Amino acid sequence: MIPRLKPYLGKEEILALFKKRENAVKRFEIEFASQFNTEYAVAFPYGRSALWAFFKSLDLDPFEVVQPAYTCSVVAHATVLSGNIPVFVDINLTDYNMDLDLMAKAITPYTRVIIPTHLFGYPMDINKVKEIVQKAEDKYGHKIWIIQDCAHSFDAKYKGDSVINSGDGAIFGLGISKQITSIFGGMFTTNDEAIAKNLRDFRDSYFLVPSWKKSLKRYLYLLAVYPAFQSFIYGLVYWLQEKTPFLNRLTRDYHLDEKIHFPPDHLDQMTAIEALVGLEQLKKYPAVYSKRIEIANEYFSNIISSSKFILPPEVGGATYSHFVIRTENRDQLLALFASKGIQLGQLIEYSMPHHPAYKIYVQETAFPNSYLCSNSLINLPIYPNLKNAQINRIISLTNTIFQSDEN
């Protein structure tokens, strides 16, 4: 079976265990900053922990955090668990990012942070975001931090400029499903020395040094992941995931969509083994990036669009962390592709304002686009180790299904 995602791992990551561990996290931070042309990088156990720590490090009274209605739930969890209030903004359907007019309207005297999220790797118009924030700062007379969510975008470019360096800071997730991974892990980057120092001091006093047992567990997890995503084994993995509670039980602590929740180890520091794997993955980033663009271009050139299946927007500078298709027939499509040996992804199946735990944060506003996407997006496999024959199989099946549904 062709998996919906596959980390780009090789023997380098497996052998990372035997590399020098001294200062591994620090070395990973330095290399990460250098790879993405930013001044400072501060490592965390998860991207969500980085965001949570940034909110805590501001040491302000409860404040409002403007964020997309349609994004990974952990952004809102970090907001609430740090004692603050999420303010959701509906997305547009052109690139699935926050609608900027609605974003401007969502800012109030209590807003202290805005989270521009470059969902699926689509760069937001960050210049416009900065303009809106500047106006609000002038109006309210205080700083509003722009913290970008680059978990999907990494080095996405808006009009040729990396989005990473446009705000006050950026967060990255480095879990196994991301473009590059450190097994688990997250990063905060910034060009502001004071923010970096404040955050690092906060992390070092608040986050625990992980035990050797945790490092070993992380490594064993990596060893299990490596074969699990090979096509010839993945059929079994898929079966375990779909037909038994076994795999879901293993990953339950990491992501509970229905609850405001963080994993139990969210206040541990990154382990050395994760940093060593991350260092290997950084070297592969340029290849990962260009291969994704190449596959996206293959899809754009060869998939025949249909009125019932809306292809993703083609945007220069996007990183295509996901190749999303919008359809009313999501469940049938997932089942049909699976029956032909191709697993489609279904990344965000919820809309934050419609999430039972978040209803209390929502006023009168409607979020039609967020709701629509929560019910209608799927994504085609797009990762560097996808073979040409597999890409062709995906294209050919997609065209057959789309065209037969159209007639």
Beta strands in 241-290 (DSSP E): none
Question: Residue 260 or 336: which CB sits closer to ligand PLP?
Answer: 260
Point out which residues pair with 145 in neighbouring strands: 113
Residue 95 touches ligand PLP, criterion: CB under 6 A = no
* Cα 310 from Cα 243, distance rounded (Å): 30
Q: What share of the chain is helix, strand, coil (3-state, %, to 5)?
A: 50, 15, 35
Residue 163 touches ligand PLP, criterion: CB under 6 A = no
Question: Residue 52 or 309: which CB sits closer to ligand PLP?
Answer: 52
Size of the site for ligand PLP (CB under 6 A): 14
Residue 149 touches ligand PLP, criterion: CB under 6 A = yes
Question: Residue 136 or 156: which CB sits closer to ligand PLP?
Answer: 156
**Strands across the sheet with 85-89, in order?**
40-44, 186-190, 169-173, 145-149, 111-114, 64-68, 85-89
Applying CB under 6 A, among 1, 36, 42, 48 the residue interacting with ligand PLP is 48
Name the residue number minimizing CB distance to ligand PLP: 173
Place of tokens 């265990």: 17
Point out which residues pair with 203 in neighbouring strands: none
Point out which residues pair with 113 in neighbouring strands: 65, 145
Residue 188 touches ligand PLP, criterion: CB under 6 A = no
Token pair, residue 221, equals: 């997890």
Point out which residues pair with 310 in neighbouring strands: 326
**DSSP codes joined into one string, 13-28:** HHHGGGS--TTHHHHH
* Cα 328 from Cα 188, distance rounded (Å): 37
Question: Residue 64 or 149: which CB sits closer to ligand PLP?
Answer: 149
* Cα 54 from Cα 190, distance rounded (Å): 11
Applying CB under 6 A, among 32, 46, 54, 154 the residue interacting with ligand PLP is 46
Residue 151 touches ligand PLP, criterion: CB under 6 A = yes
Stretch that binds ligand PLP, among 4-12, 23-31, 41-49, 366-374 (CB under 6 A): 41-49
Instruction: Label residue 301 exposed, middle or buried (CB < 10 Å: 0-12, 13-18, 19+).
Output: exposed
Question: Residue 101 or 257: which CB sits closer to ligand PLP?
Answer: 257
CB 187, CB 32: distance < 8 Å: yes
Residue 121 touches ligand PLP, criterion: CB under 6 A = no
Stretch that binds ligand PLP, among 44-52, 54-62, 379-387, 390-398 (CB under 6 A): 44-52
Residue 186 touches ligand PLP, criterion: CB under 6 A = yes
We find the least distance from the C-beta atom of residue 43 to ligand PLP, in angstroms, to be 11
Stretch that binds ligand PLP, among 72-80, 333-341, 365-373, 391-399 (CB under 6 A): 72-80
Residue 71 touches ligand PLP, criterion: CB under 6 A = yes
Residue 199 touches ligand PLP, criterion: CB under 6 A = no
Stretch that binds ligand PLP, among 83-91, 131-139, 148-156, 327-335 (CB under 6 A): 148-156
CA distances from 93 to 8, 296, 358, 371, 372 (A): 30, 19, 23, 11, 9
Applying CB under 6 A, among 2, 8, 42, 47 the residue interacting with ligand PLP is 47
Instruction: Label residue 153 exposed, middle or buried (CB < 10 Å: 0-12, 13-18, 19+).
Output: buried
Question: Residue 51 or 196: which CB sits closer to ligand PLP?
Answer: 51
Residue 72 touches ligand PLP, criterion: CB under 6 A = yes
Applying CB under 6 A, among 85, 128, 165, 175 the residue interacting with ligand PLP is 175
Stretch that binds ligand PLP, among 70-78, 195-203, 279-287, 330-338 (CB under 6 A): 70-78
Stretch that binds ligand PLP, among 11-19, 46-54, 98-106, 396-404 (CB under 6 A): 46-54
Residue 75 touches ligand PLP, criterion: CB under 6 A = yes
Residue 74 touches ligand PLP, criterion: CB under 6 A = yes
Point out which residues pair with 44 in neighbouring strands: 186
Instruction: Estimate to the nearest angstrom the gap between the alpha carbon of 19 and the chain centroid.
Output: 28
- Rg over alpha carbons for the chain, rounded to the nearest Å, is 21
We find the least distance from the C-beta atom of residue 54 to ligand PLP, in angstroms, to be 13
Pinpoint the alpha helices (H) of 207-321. Answer: 212-228, 231-243, 246-251, 272-302
Residue 169 touches ligand PLP, criterion: CB under 6 A = no
Q: Please provide the size of the chain in residues.
A: 407
State the pairing for strand pair 85-89/64-68.
parallel
We find the least distance from the C-beta atom of residue 235 to ligand PLP, in angstroms, to be 25
Residues that bind ligand PLP (CB under 6 A): 46-48, 71-72, 74-75, 117, 149, 151-152, 173, 175, 186
